[in-house]
Amino acid sequence: MKQLFAFFLLLSLISSNANSQSMVWNQVAHPDSFQVNGVGFSSDGSRVLSGTNCHPAVARLYNELNGAITWNHVFDSAMYCSMGVGISSNGKYLGVIEEMGNVVIFDYSKVNPDSVMTINLATSNAFALSFAPNSAKMAAGCSGGRLKTYSLPSGTKHLDFIAHSGFVTTVDYSPDNKWIATGSTDDKAKVYDTLGVIKWTLTGHTGDVTSAKFSKDNLKLYTASKDNTVKVWDMSNGALLQTINVSADDVNSLDVAPANNALVTVSADDSVRIWSTSSYAKLAAFAKPVLGIPLCVAWSPTGKLIVTGTSTGKVVAYDANSFSGVVTLPVEPEFMLYPNPCVDQLNMDLSIFDTRSLEVFDGLGKAVFKTRFSSKAGLFSLNTSKYPKGVYFVRITDTENRMMVKEFVRQ
């Protein structure tokens, strides 16, 4: 039923944006359909990289335009699952981090990259890697709460310290090369300078932090979590700027558009969502359940593609330019819901739209409330005191038959 309702929501969004889910290609990342744990792009956006579960783990490169496989590497039995992948900005290094504590570095400058170094992290497990923007270092998130960095091309260890009380599941260098963000199963995100000195400890998530990404101007940090939210942090003071209630399921990953005006999230409810980075409004949402749950996501540095890796071993590329308002257009205003979550009453500010009708649906897609307006609506209050606890969806339709859907939670 969840997938059926996701499809219902998809239809309502398509009615106002017919091109909102233009898939360019999808490709097999593993011949046995093992899940994809990491995707990334080359710095020029011409190739897509993926890494998969095992045995055996497989890393592949794809042509950005058509998804053709241009490189295939099958890891031997001594290597376990590939948990994260990356390509350095200078185009020299391709990295794959392996779950049992190794990073394999390939020479990406070759047409067919070959392995030039394996870095033993000396930890039980490893989960994430990030190349520094200047390509001089690589950071790895590990078990035991450890953050490690290594110099390139030597592979010499630079930093090794306990950054968290749980596994370090995500790492990201800031675009200006000054900071490293980490996220952990201890529900925290942290920001360190490149010498390992703590800048901010960011608390507020109530589930594992699955992804952390700096904004392209270095001013914000976005963190995704298994608490179903994305949080936005001010890097000047560590303050929480916004909590985005993404879905009713884990947020698996996120990435930021190269233009810095949007971010993309993927969730365990099968959905990909695009958000404004100024208003935090949802710009698009869609699902491809037949291709599997999207587990990881990357936005091309050229802005052309958004790529996801799925639970069924697929790499799926979407046309980022088909998302109305995401790349070049200003964000249209959204109607406001508050408080969200709510208990007895949900208020809706509909004054910016010439609203004709309003409908409320429960998590199974059943209509629980409907009303029509004979004149322009302003503030509308919905009595939710008798609604069972859970996730609901409000759909408004204006006089031009344009629709908008927003989620709210009844606590």
Single pTM value for the model: 0.73
- Measured distance CA(382)–CA(398) in Å, rounded: 18
**pLDDT of amino acid 406:** 78
- pLDDT, position 146: 96
- For residue 158, name the pLDDT band (cuts at 50, 70, 90): very high
Q: What pLDDT was estimated at residue 78?
A: 86
For the chain, domains (ranges, CATH) are 2-322 (2.130.10.10), 336-410 (2.60.40.3080)
Mean pLDDT to the nearest integer, 143-163: 95
Lowest mean pLDDT among 207-211, 303-307, 308-312, 364-368: 364-368
pLDDT band at 5 (very low <50, low <70, confident <90, very high): very low
Average pLDDT over residues 92-106: 95
pLDDT bin (cut points 50, 70, 90) of residue 18 is very low
By the 8 A CB rule, do 360 and 368 touch?
A: yes
Dump pLDDT digits (tens) for 381-400: 999 999 999 888 888 877 76
Higher pLDDT, 367 or 46: 46
pLDDT band, very low/low/confident/very high, at 330 (cuts 50, 70, 90):
very low
Q: Is the pLDDT of residue 14 over 90?
A: no
The overall average pLDDT reported for the chain is: 87
Residue 195 has pLDDT above 50, yes or no: yes
pLDDT at site 9: 41
pLDDT at 327: 35
Sheet arrangement for strand 198-202: 168-173, 179-184, 189-193, 198-202
- pLDDT tens profile 247-296: 888 999 999 999 998 999 999 988 899 998 988 888 888 877 778 899 99
Quote the pLDDT of residue 373: 86
The answer, yes or no, to whether residue 333 has pLDDT greater than 70, is no
For residue 324, the model assigns a pLDDT of 43
